[in-house]
Structure 1
Amino acid sequence: MAQWQDLLRLDAALQARVSQLYEGRFPREIRHYLCVLIESLDWDLAAGDENAASTCFHALLEDLQEQWIRSVQENILLQGPDYTGMKDYLLKNFEDKPLNLAVILSECLKEEQKIKASASEAQACGSPDMDQKWKWKDMDNKINELKRLIMEVNKEIKSLEILNDNLDFIQKTWQNKVEQDIGLAQSHAVVEEECRKRTNFIIQTKQVVLQEIVNILNLAQPIVATLTEVELPEWRLRQQLACIGSLANTCLDHLQKWFTAVAEVLLRVREQLQKLKEQNNTPDSTDASILPGLMAIIENQTLSLFTQLLANALVVEKQPIMSSLPQRPLILKTGVRFSVRVRFLANLPEFKCLLKVKPVFDKDVEEIKTVKWFRHFDFNSDECKVLDVDSPNGDLVTEFGHMSLKEIKGRAKGSIESRLAVTEELHIIKFVTEFRHVGLELNIEASTLPVVVISATTQVSSAWASIMWNNMLSTGDSRNLQLFVDPPPLTWEQLSQVLSWQFLCTGMRELDENQLSVLRNKIVDDPDDLVHWSKFSKNENAWLWIDGILDLIRKHLVDLWRDGSIMGFISRERTAELLKEKRTGTFLLRFSESKTNGAISFSWVDNANGAPFVHSIDPYTKDELEKTSLPDYINTYSLRGRKSRHTNPLLYLYPDIPKDTAFGHYFTNTAEKMLAVDGYVHRKRGDFSDNPTPPPSPPREPNTDMEMEMDFETKQQKKSRDHCSIISFYGINIYRYVF
C-alpha cells in the first residue's frame, strides 16, 4: 500500500504515467481498493508459475468478498465501491487465465517502482541542486532563529507575569496591614520606594520584550517577502511547467513548513502583545506612557505581515484535470467531471475547519463583461468545502472531485469580433474564502492556471496546443486570457523543450538532439529561430502530425519507444545515409511524415545486387497495430519472390542488434506461445510484400531502364489495387499484403 499511496501523491504528469500502465490492461479501481493485498503478493513468482498465479487470483477474489461483506455490515453500499463489479471483472477476464493477470500485475508493479524512482530523482522533495539546497538550508536557519527568539520572548512574558503578580501582592498586602495597624504607616515611604523600583523594573523589562518583538518582526519581514514574492512564485512556475510535461519539483512540503512556522510565530506575537496590554497596570510615568503607542505600532506591523502571509497561503495544489485526460490538465469538457485540489499552507490547529472555500468561474474576468464573443460558463452545482486535516498527512486540503461545467451563454452568431477558435479561448477558476480569526478579517483567493473549455473530444489536440503555448509564454502571475488574439511566437528552444516533455510523459523517453533537429527543419522557417502560432497549430498544423504520433506511441508503442528501439524522427535522406553503411538486413523504425494521424514504418538495406539500396514499407497505422503488434509484424514480415519463397529481410535493428535480441521478448507468435492445449499450432495471418521487380535495386545507369521499371510497376499497382498498399521510396515501389 505504501507504493500506491506514494504514487497518489505524485503530480498530474507522473500520475498520468501510472494511469497509462493500466489503460486497457487492468482497472485502476481494483488496483486502488486491493492495493494492500496486491503489493503483498509475489507476482513475479506467479508470472512464471500457474499454480502460484491461481493462488494469487483467488486471494484477490476472497479479499473483494470480505470487503463487500464489510460494506454491507456498515451499510455503505450506496456510496461505496462496486465490489461485485470488480469481482465479476476478475472472473470474466482471468478465471481461466490467472497467468495473464500475474504477468500484468508483475509488469505494472515494476513500472510503478520506476516511476516512483524517477519522481524521487526529479522532484526534490527529491534531489534539489546545490544552490537549491543552500537556499532551503538558509531559510530553515532563519526560521529556526525566529522560533528561538519567540521562545525567549515567551520566557520574558512569563517573568513579567510573575513580577506583576508580586507587585500586586505587595501593594494589596501592605494596604491591609496599614488598615490593621496604624504604627506601620511609618514604613509607608519605604514600601512605596520598593514598589516604585519594582514598577520601573517591570517597565524596563516590557521595553526589552517589545524590542525583542521588534527584532522578531524585522527578521520575519524579509522571510515573509521571500516566501510570498520569491519561493511561492517559483513554485507556481514549476507547477505550470509540470502541467505541460516537465518533471519539475512541485512538492509543497518545504513551503508549507515555512508558511506554518512563520504564521505560528506571528500568531504568538499577537498573543504576547495582548498579554502585555493586559499587564499594563503600572502607574503613569514618562517611560510607561510611551508603551501603549509603541505596542500599537508593533501590533500594526505584526498584522501587516500576518495578512501578507495568509493572503498568499491558499494555493491550487492540483490544477483542473479530467480523469479521462490524465496527461493533459487544464482541458475541461462541458458536462464532464473534473477535479481540483486546494491547500492552505499555514497549517495551524487553530485554522482547522475555519476556512470554507468556494469555486467561482471567471471571477473578475474583464473579458466576460467587454468581449461579446467570450463564452460564459458556470458550474453544474454549487459546491463549497471546508479545509480540514482529514488528509493522510494532516494537511489543510480539500479536493473538489466532482466538478463540471455548463455553458450559460455562447458566442453571438455572426459576431465580427469572434477572432478566436473555441480552443484558443482561455478561462480561469478562482477559489475564494473568508478568514476570520482573533479580530483579523481577510478575503483570500487562489486562481487556477488558464483553462480551455471544449465541447467535443475532437478539440482536445488543438486545446492542448493552446495550453502548451500559453504556459510557455505567460509565466508567473500574468494572465492574458486574450493571448491568442495576437499570439506571440515561441523560440525554437522553448518549443523543442515542451515537445520533448510530451514524449517523456507519453513514452517515458525524451527526444534527442537528432530527433529535435528533424522537427526543427520541419517546423522552423524563421531566420530568428522563432515559431509562429499559425505555423504550429493553425494553417500548416505541425502539431496535429506530432500529436498523432504521440497517440500512436501511447496506444501501441510505449515499450518500444521507451527502450529506444524506435529512431522515430529521421528523414528519408538520413535513413538512406545510415543504412547504406550497414550490412544487409539492417533496419530502423521511423514515423511516417505523410500520415497526420500517426503511423510508423521500417526501412532496411539490401546489398544483394552488389550495391546498397534502401527499401521502406508502407507505414502501419493505428488500425493495423490494433490487430497485431509492431514486433509481430517485424517478426513475420517477409518478401515474396517470383517462386513464392518467403524470406524476412529484417535481420538487425540499427546499428547492429539482432532482431530477436531487440524484439524477442515482445513477440507473441513464437511456437511456444502459439502451442494450443490440443497440441496444434494456431495459424496466423501473414504480412509480406512482393519483391521489387528485377533488379531489386535501382540500376546503376538510370533513366531508360528505370522508366520501364516504373511503367511495369504502375500496371502491377492497378491490377492489385484492392489487395495491396504501396509506398514509393527512392524510385522503388514495395507492396505489402496482409491476409
Structure 2
Amino acid sequence: MAVWIQAQQLQGEALHQMQALYGQHFPIEVRHYLAQWIESQLWDSVELDNPAEEAKAKRLLDNLVSELQRKSQLQCGEDGFLLKIKLGHYATQLKSTYDRCPLELVRCIKHILHSEQRLVQEATNASSGSEGKAMDSLSQRHQQINQAFEELRLATQETENELRKLQHSQEYFIIQYQENLRIQAQLSSLSSLPPAERTQRETTLQSKRTTVEAWLTREASTLQKHRLDLSEQHQKTLGLLRKQQTLILDEELIQWKRRQQLAGNGGPHEGGLDVLQSWCEKLADLIWQNRQQIRRCEHLTQQLPLPGPMEELLSKLNSDITDVVSALVTSTFIIEKQPPQVLKTQTKFAATVRLLVGGKLNVHMNPPQVKAVIVSEQQAKALLKNESTHSESSGEILNNNCVMEYHQATSTLTAHFRNMSLKRIKRSDRRGAESVTEEKFTVLFESQFSVGGNELVFHVKTLSLPVVVIVHGSQDNNATATVLWDNAFAEPGRVPFIVPDKVLWPQLCEALDMKYKAEMHSGRGLSDDNLVFLAQKAFTSSSNNPDDYRNMTISWAQFNRESLPGRNFTFWQWFDGVVELMKKHLKPHWNDGAILGFVNKQQAQDMLLSKPNGTFLLRFSDSEIGGITIAWVADNPNKPGERLVWNLLPYTTKDFSIRSLADRISDLSHLLFLYPDRPKDEVFAKYYTPPLSKAVDGYVKPQIKQVVPEFTTPNPEPSGAPTFMDQTTSPSVSHPNNFGVYPSMNDTMLDADGEFDLEDTMDVARHVEELLRRPMANQWSSQQS
C-alpha cells in the first residue's frame, strides 16, 4: 500500500500520467480500495510469455474478484450503499473481461504498479536532489525532453489557430471574389437598360467594383503573406520535431538498446521502455498533427491559387515531415525481449517485438504479421546497406510467424514468439583460426503495415543482437565467450558485427565483474585483488601491482583462442568454469565471504604459514576447469617442528552433487579456522545437512562421510545411522562398485606441498590397478533399530 499512498501525493504531469493508467480495463477505485492486497501479491512471478502460467494468473484473477466481493459486502449504511453496488459491479466486470485471458490482467496490473513506482521515484528524486549525479542528470534530461514537448505542443496549437484564421480569411476572400464576379455580371447586363438609368447604375456598380477589387488585391497579398508566415512556422516546428526525435531515437533509444545488450552480460535489466513509448507516442501525435496541418494548407492553396512559391514550399514540407514519420515508425519497431544469444538447434526459444507507436497510429486496427528469419553476418551487412531487398535466410526457424496484438491495458502493440525452434543452420566458410562458436548470426524480424487509411505503407525490419548457433551443449562455453566479448565491446552504429580484436584490460575486467555479479545474484563481485589474480593468469605475470595492468591490452586470441601456458584450456574457459561451479554449488559461501577463490598456490602458502595449525582457505584450482581446493596448514609428520601447507585434490561439480562443501568441511576435523581466524562452524554450520533420522521399518540409512587418512584421528562414531566413510584425498575419483564412495590413497599421493603428484609414486596404470585390487575398509557398523 506504500506505493499507492505515495502515488496519491503526485502532482501536475505526474498525477495526470498516473490517472491515465486507469480506465474501463482496470478502474482506479479497485486500485484504491484493494491497494494493500494488490501490492502484496506476487505479480512479477507470473511469466507473461509462458502459456503454462495461465493457471497461476487465473487464481490471481479469482482472488481479486473475491476480495472485491468481500470488500463490497463490508460496506454498510447510507454512505456505503452506492460503494457496495459499485464494487460489486467492478467484480463482475473484471471477471467478465479477463476470465478468458487472465494473463492480460496480470500484464495490466504489472504495468500499473511499475509505472506508479517509476512516477513516485522520479518525483522523489526531483524533490530530494540527493540521489546522486547520475539520477540528477537523468531527471534533468527527462525534464528537458518534457519541456521540449510542451514547446512543441504550444507551437502546434499556434499553427492550428493560424491555419483556422487563414481558412476563415480565405473563405471570406472567396465570398468577396464571388461578389466581384456578380458585380461584373451586373455591369454586363446594363446594356438592356435605358441610357439614363444605365449610366446611374453603371457608376454605382463601377464604384463598388473598384472598392471590391482593391480589397481583393490587398487581401490576396495578405493571404499570401499569411501562407508564407504559416509555412515558416511549420518549418520551425519541423526543425524542433527533428531535434526532439533525434534526441529520443538516436540517444535515449540507442542507450536503451545498449543497456539491453549489456543485460546479456549480466548488466542491470533494461528499464524505461514505457517512458520511451510515451515519448514516441507524443512525437507521433505531434508529427501527425503537423502533417495534417500541412496537407490542409496544400488543400487551401489548391482551392485558391495565388502567385508565389507556396506550392513548392508546401510540397517540400509535406515530403520532409513524411520522412520524419517514416523514420519514427521504422526506428520504433524494436525487439523488447531478445532471443537467446547462444541458440541451440532443435531447442524452443522465445522473443517479443514491439512497435512503440502502434497504438497511437492505430496500426492495430489491421493487425500486421511479423516474420522471423535467421541471417548471417554478411546478409545482415547487405540488409543495412540496402544491397538486399529480400530477406535471404541462413536456416529454418519453425513457428516464425506471429500477428501483433494490441494490449489495451498497457497500450502496447507486440508480437510474442513463444515457440520458435531453429531446425537447421547454414554456415559460411570460416576464415583462419575462426571456429563455429565465433560465427555470428542474427534473427531478422520484419513486417509491413499501413497508417492513415493506407495513406502511408511501411516495411519495417529490425535485427536481434548477434547470436551464436550451437548444436551441442559442449559448445556453450566458447559460444558464451563470443557473446560476452560482442556485448561488452560493440560500438553503436557498427557494421554487423564488428568488434575490436584487442581491448584494454580494465575494460575486460568490467565485463567479467558484471558477469560474475549477475551469476552470484549479489553485489559482491570481483575485488581488486581478484582482478590482479586474473591479470596474472591472463598475462602470465607475477606482478601484484594493479597499475601495471592498467594500460595493457588483451586480445580475443588471449581471451578464448589460445590455451594458457602449460594448460589445455583458455583463460575464458577457466573463468567460466569457476562461474559455473560457484553458481551451481557455492553461491551462498561466496556471498558470505567464505571463499577467497582467486588465490594461487604460493599466495595461499604465504598466507597460511602465518596462522595457527588447522587454519584453511578455499581457492580455485589452477590446473582444472571448475575446480576448488582446500588448503590448510599443519605439522609435517615426517619432520617434527616443521609446518607445511597441504592442498586437497580439487573438488568439482560432480563431487558437490554427492556431498556439499559445508558437509565435507564438517567431516574434516583437522580443519579448525577459516582464514584468517573464523571458527569453521561459525561460518558453515548453517549449511550442514541435518543428522539422519532413526531407522524406519527395521532399516537404517547409510551416510557418506569424507576423511583424509593422513589427518584422521580414531574417533568412534556416535550411535545412530551408520556411516560409509569416504577415505580420500582425491574427491574427483570415484569407485565404480561402491555407489560413489571414494577409495583411499596411500600417503605418498599427497606431496609435501599438498599437490596431487603421481610422478613421484607410480605411473597411472599401476596406480589404478592397485586401487582396484585394494579391498575397501569396512566402515559399516551393524546396529539394530
The TM-score normalised by the length of structure 2 is 0.65
1:601 aligns with 2:629: yes
1:494 aligns with 2:507: yes
Between the aligned residues of both structures, percent identity stands at: 24
Preserved contact between residue 152 and residue 241 of structure 2 (Cα < 8 Å) = yes
- 2:647 corresponding residue in structure 1: 616
1:477 aligns with 2:489: no
- 1:52 corresponding residue in structure 2: none
Count of residue pairs brought into register by the alignment: 600
Q: Match for 1:450 among 466, 471, 487?
A: 466
How far off its partner does 1:723 sit? Answer: 2.6
1:731 aligns with 2:736: no
Superposed CA offset, 1:354-404 (max 9, x none): 5432223217835999xxxxx973234363334342275222222222222
1:244 aligns with 2:265: yes
- 1:406 corresponding residue in structure 2: 423
Matches within 5 A, 1:23-62: none
1:530 aligns with 2:553: yes
3-state SS in 2 of match to 1:338? strand
Preserved contact between residue 376 and residue 408 of structure 1 (Cα < 8 Å) = no
User: Computing the radius of gyration over CA atoms, which structure comes out larger, 1 or 2?
Assistant: 2
How far off its partner does 1:196 sit? Answer: 5.8
1:385 aligns with 2:418: no
Preserved contact between residue 391 and residue 397 of structure 1 (Cα < 8 Å) = no
Q: Distance in 2 between matches of 1:317 and 1:561?
A: 33
Preserved contact between residue 599 and residue 619 of structure 1 (Cα < 8 Å) = yes
How far off its partner does 1:205 sit? Answer: 3.6
Preserved contact between residue 618 and residue 725 of structure 1 (Cα < 8 Å) = no
User: What letter matches 1:633 in structure 2?
Assistant: R
Q: Distance in 2 between matches of 1:676 and 1:343?
A: 60
- 1:318 corresponding residue in structure 2: 337
Preserved contact between residue 477 and residue 573 of structure 2 (Cα < 8 Å) = yes
Preserved contact between residue 368 and residue 376 of structure 1 (Cα < 8 Å) = no
Q: Distance in 2 between matches of 1:37 and 1:575?
A: 59
User: What letter matches 1:230 in structure 2?
Assistant: E
Distance 1:589 1:446, change over 3 A: same
Preserved contact between residue 501 and residue 556 of structure 2 (Cα < 8 Å) = yes
User: What letter matches 1:529 in structure 2?
Assistant: M
Between stretches 530-539 and 586-595, larger displacement belongs to: 530-539
Preserved contact between residue 524 and residue 530 of structure 1 (Cα < 8 Å) = no
- 1:86 corresponding residue in structure 2: none
Distance 1:368 1:306, change over 3 A: closer
Matches within 5 A, 1:74-89: none
Preserved contact between residue 376 and residue 440 of structure 2 (Cα < 8 Å) = no
How far off its partner does 1:656 sit? Answer: 3.1
How far off its partner does 1:563 sit? Answer: 2.7
Preserved contact between residue 379 and residue 403 of structure 1 (Cα < 8 Å) = no
Q: Distance in 1 between matches of 2:60 and 2:402?
A: 28
Question: Highest relative contact order (Cα 8 Å, sep 6+), 1 or 2?
Answer: 1
How far off its partner does 1:536 sit? Answer: 2.8
Preserved contact between residue 670 and residue 711 of structure 2 (Cα < 8 Å) = no
- 1:559 corresponding residue in structure 2: 588
- 1:307 corresponding residue in structure 2: 326
Distance 1:607 1:391, change over 3 A: farther
User: What letter matches 2:404 in structure 1?
Assistant: L
Which runs of 5 or more structure 2 residues have no equivalent in the other structure? 1-37, 66-94, 104-113, 191-200, 383-391, 542-548, 564-569, 714-728, 734-740, 758-775, 781-785
Distance 1:661 1:290, change over 3 A: same
Distance 1:285 1:469, change over 3 A: closer
Preserved contact between residue 387 and residue 397 of structure 1 (Cα < 8 Å) = yes
Distance 1:380 1:319, change over 3 A: closer
Between stretches 521-530 and 207-216, larger displacement belongs to: 521-530
3-state SS in 2 of match to 1:588? strand
How far off its partner does 1:271 sit? Answer: 0.3
Preserved contact between residue 599 and residue 620 of structure 1 (Cα < 8 Å) = yes
Q: Match for 1:344 among 355, 363, 386?
A: 355
Which runs of 5 or more structure 1 residues have no equivalent in the other structure? 20-26, 41-69, 81-112, 322-329, 370-374, 639-647, 695-712
Q: Distance in 2 between matches of 1:271 and 1:666?
A: 69
- 2:517 corresponding residue in structure 1: 504
Preserved contact between residue 646 and residue 753 of structure 2 (Cα < 8 Å) = no
Preserved contact between residue 586 and residue 656 of structure 1 (Cα < 8 Å) = yes
Matches within 5 A, 1:640-679: 648-670=669-691, 674=693
Preserved contact between residue 334 and residue 405 of structure 1 (Cα < 8 Å) = yes
Superposed CA offset, 1:590-610 (max 9, x none): 2222222x2222233347976
How far off its partner does 1:626 sit? Answer: 1.0
How far off its partner does 1:452 sit? Answer: 0.8
Superposed CA offset, 1:279-303 (max 9, x none): 33775554xx332222122222212
How far off its partner does 1:456 sit? Answer: 0.9
Q: Distance in 2 between matches of 1:134 and 1:449?
A: 30
3-state SS in 1 of match to 2:398? coil
1:362 aligns with 2:375: yes
Superposed CA offset, 1:550-592 (max 9, x none): 2212221222222322211111222222233334433322222
Q: Match for 1:136 among 138, 142, 149?
A: 142
User: What letter matches 2:628 in structure 1?
Assistant: I
Q: Distance in 2 between matches of 1:659 and 1:196?
A: 101
